[in-house]
Amino acid sequence: MLRQPHANTVVGRAHWDWRRISLRGCAVPVSLLLFVVAVRAGQDQQQPAGYAGSETCATCHEDITKAFDKNRHAALETSKTRGWATRACESCHGPGAKHAESASAGDIRQPAKLAVKDSEKICLGCHLNQPTQMGRLTSGHARNAVACVACHNVHATGEERSSVMFRKAAGINRKCGSCHTDVWASFQKPHHHKLPEGAMSCIDCHNPHGSNQAHLLKTAFGPQSGCFRCHTDKRGPFTFEHVVVRTEGCSACHEPHGSANPRMLTRAQVSNQCLECHSNIQSPSSSGLVGGPPTAFHDLRSARYRNCTICHQKIHGSHVSRALLR
């Protein structure tokens, strides 16, 4: 057996075995060239006009072909229904017969060298509207500023490959953080979701493929309802809601990417956070809502009263207390 030991354990693996052919052909080194020509001629007969077939590519691009065996796209090489059997390489690179003759870069399509919309078109030719959990591929990463291949390194191997193709949180974070350096810096602040520790990733909250929410946030209803996926106790509905939680969402008070303040609050002092909206000199919140000032018995000069959440414990909403006390 020439395949790697674990070859049979992976579903959807291509089983065309170019190495066997090449070993047979290379018994006498001098015959290599003849062999290449022979294989190419054989391929030409089976392939549609302009196509060379993957075995022909393999003769010159040995490392890439070998690694491709572990690529999910290798399914194209064997599938009888997807239309690319024996010529999977050319599903992305286009007809390659001319390049296989000339070996010139000018004669072959390299998706990563194309304009974003052109390279995307190649990928979306197969991935458009796929029922993946990511959905909405067409709205693009921030309206087509970033190509599929900026995140998905098709031929990558080892460490680099694990970044997006294999969905490890740490690898995904590294990939996203390599462009969004300011966001990644926020996650280094003392209070943060555990992204630097590799326990969560950007795509727990964002859909990199697009979304009908601002900032590519996941899920479809209410501001930042994606947070409820994990913080279910904050979801409600509450008999007595703190209306800003619903209208403005969590980032009215929290910094989701991390903060120097405990509980990832936007303010170091909780009372300042509250008094931003609950004071006589109110600045209206972004939805135009203002909270009423605390009733007169609140003596805001006393330290006791400045610690608002000591008493207002159900700050996200309450089932029993109108004043969000319990």
> Which of 13, 47, 73, 258 touches ligand HEC by CB under 6 A?
73
Q: Least distance from C-beta 319 to ligand HEC, angstroms?
A: 14
Site track for ligand HEC across 14-43, x = CB under 6 A: ------------------------------
> Which of 78, 91, 139, 157 touches ligand HEC by CB under 6 A?
91
Give CA angle at 271 (299, 256), nearest 5°. 165
Nearest-angstrom CA–CA distance, 67 and 190: 41
* Cβ closest to ligand HEC, residue 23 vs residue 166: 166
Count how many Cα atoms sit within 13 Å of the Cα of residue 194 in the half-sphere of its side chain: 4
Please answer whether residues 149 and 164 qualify as being in contact, where contact means their C-beta atoms are separated by less than 8 angstroms. Answer: no
* Token pair 């690319």 in the structure block, residue: 84
> Which of 155, 162, 168, 198 touches ligand HEC by CB under 6 A?
155
Chain residues 301-320 in contact with ligand HEC, contact rule CB under 6 A? 305-312, 315-316
Closest CA to 292 of 264, 317, 323, 267: 323
Please answer whether residues 207 and 216 qualify as being in contact, where contact means their C-beta atoms are separated by less than 8 angstroms. Answer: yes
263 binds ligand HEC (CB under 6 A): yes
* Token pair 């006498």 in the structure block, residue: 28
Chain residues 135-154 in contact with ligand HEC, contact rule CB under 6 A? 137, 141-142, 145-146, 148-154
Nearest-angstrom CA–CA distance, 16 and 65: 11
Q: Least distance from C-beta 28 to ligand HEC, angstroms?
A: 19
Chain residues 159-218 in contact with ligand HEC, contact rule CB under 6 A? 164-165, 167, 172-173, 175-180, 183-184, 187, 191, 193-195, 200, 202-206, 208-209, 215-217
Nearest-angstrom CA–CA distance, 136 and 190: 34
Q: Is the dihedral of CA 82, 86, 91, 92 positive or negative?
A: positive
Binding window for ligand HEC (CB under 6 A); candidates: 1-9, 26-34, 41-49, 267-275:
267-275
* Token pair 């990733």 in the structure block, residue: 201
* Cβ closest to ligand HEC, residue 23 vs residue 101: 101
Nearest-angstrom CA–CA distance, 231 and 234: 6
Q: Is the dihedral of CA 199, 202, 207, 212 positive or negative?
A: positive
239 binds ligand HEC (CB under 6 A): no
Chain residues 40-69 in contact with ligand HEC, contact rule CB under 6 A? 52, 54, 56-57, 59-61, 64-65, 68
> Which of 21, 114, 124, 170 touches ligand HEC by CB under 6 A?
124
> Which of 22, 35, 39, 254 touches ligand HEC by CB under 6 A?
254
